[in-house]
Structure 1
């Protein structure tokens, strides 16, 4: 198979980039990134080298490259390597980690260059797919924070811990009301956090604790309910999708069928 390298920028999160490599067989000499890089092997075998040693990368291996860390990569003879990567600007990373822990951190390095944790690897791959797709901004931000929290809680050099949750029923109620009133807005987690008077990470977790689902799932349920109302009044499918905040009809149809078991067209007619 021919080598393929894809690059994506995320409109809703401009300081974050995605890469996907397929069937790569070339070597990359020693270099550094000025950003934090998180990769997961998807197929084949790769070789990652830092001052701490050489590591063979197989499917499910998580490769961590802290900002300004010298490293190189290669592929053993006779093999190819495929992976997905998420690169995060250090200023954005610092801001996200402050949201998670409730305090500023001078060191945001992870201890291990390579992590073997299949559940976390699958979550990172799922995050990559979500970020590259048409999911809402809110869903992307919630999963990004949750993934970083799990990663840094277990593998950070500083022993970063998430903030402690309390009883936040009143702030959560305000957020629910906002999502019901402004269901068609591509709202960010920071906007909801401002309404609640909490950090974004804290809100995401207390919201799930109080309501039973995360903010983006609640938002989706509200949108789908509004969409059924519009369809019942004879709105065309495309208009119903756009007026309820879905970025395209494909995303609307997929979410609708997953929720109700039938397509919007079947519901309408």
Structure 2
């Protein structure tokens, strides 16, 4: 029987030292995300109707999968295909394990594969355990973005880039990324659009439709032409407008709302990152 990962956790076998947190990434078909530390907990045999992809941060997890026993040590990536039975528990000498997991649906991964290759197919991960420090950090970064970021463009870009690179580099049918050509015209349209609607919650699909470029390729082409990713450019544009509004003496909370920031604290964090002072400090020093 397939299970949501939340339902696969047997709470009766969890000890006081075990910790687990689930949430759903709303933009991606309510994809389950998991952050956990297991010292006593053992997963019973179960399967998912989604992929299971994540990173072991500390310790080591042992599990049975496709008739074999695997050990995923700290720093490794585990990638399990849908509808495959597996269990999971701390490797005996490890003292437990800490990990972060994401459970993208078959449709989401098919869409990633189609965007990347132009073909209707599914990626599969037969090696199961992967040792790629850079990819592991990228997956952990995506996990954090899905947990904390508010901007659709940031979430969309991270999801598309990270899972596209996971498929291209580590799936059974590895794929050489298409070289980025000269895309000045389409990228100029995307840049102008972000200038015009800087305050809106733009998604990656909006830019892909506008430029008629595949999502992953469009991100790479935008960075080649502009020097920034679409989300980084959107953020820079919002900060520029916010700075001008603050210089005119507008209230910080109003500026945050008008410029598309989630709230005032969001503006504070981003503005200080760019200028070294808070919006309130900038307004006090330079506002008219």
Fold shared, TM-score > 0.5 on shorter chain:
yes
- Does the CA-based 8 Å contact 2:56-2:99 persist in structure 1? yes
TM-score (norm 2): 0.88
TM-score (norm 1): 0.94
- Does the CA-based 8 Å contact 2:55-2:140 persist in structure 1? yes
1:9 shift after superposition: 1.1
Q: Give the direction of change, closer, same or farther, for the CA distance of 1:99–1:266 in structure 2 (3 Å limit).
A: same
Larger RCO, structures 1/2 (Cα 8 Å, 6+ apart): 1
Number of aligned pairs? Answer: 268
Structure 2 residue corresponding to 1:38, chosen from 32, 53, 56: 53
- Does the CA-based 8 Å contact 2:112-2:164 persist in structure 1? no
1:242 shift after superposition: 1.5
- Does the CA-based 8 Å contact 1:100-1:145 persist in structure 2? no
Describe how 1:207-246 pairs up with structure 2 within 5 A: 207-246=222-261
Aligned to 1:84: 100
Which sections of structure 1, spanning at least 5 residues, go unmatched? Answer: none
RMSD: 1.6
Q: C-alpha offsets along residues 137-171 of structure 1, whole Å, 9 cap, x if unaligned?
A: 11121122221222112211122343443211101
1:36 shift after superposition: 0.9
Report whether the alignment pairs 1:143 with 2:158.
yes
Aligned to 1:157: 172
Corresponding residue SS for 1:73? strand
Q: C-alpha offsets along residues 8-65 of structure 1, whole Å, 9 cap, x if unaligned?
A: 1123333422111124421112221100111111222221221252222222111111
Structure 2 residue corresponding to 1:95, chosen from 102, 106, 111: 111
1:135 shift after superposition: 4.1
Corresponding residue SS for 2:28? coil
1:77 shift after superposition: 4.3
Which sections of structure 2, spanning at least 5 residues, go unmatched? Answer: 1-15
Report whether the alignment pairs 1:195 with 2:221.
no
Aligned to 2:127: 112
Q: C-alpha offsets along residues 229-254 of structure 1, whole Å, 9 cap, x if unaligned?
A: 11112222122111111112222211
Corresponding residue SS for 1:7? strand
Report whether the alignment pairs 1:57 with 2:72.
yes
Corresponding residue SS for 2:26? coil
- Does the CA-based 8 Å contact 2:55-2:78 persist in structure 1? yes
- Does the CA-based 8 Å contact 1:193-1:200 persist in structure 2? yes
Corresponding residue SS for 1:45? strand
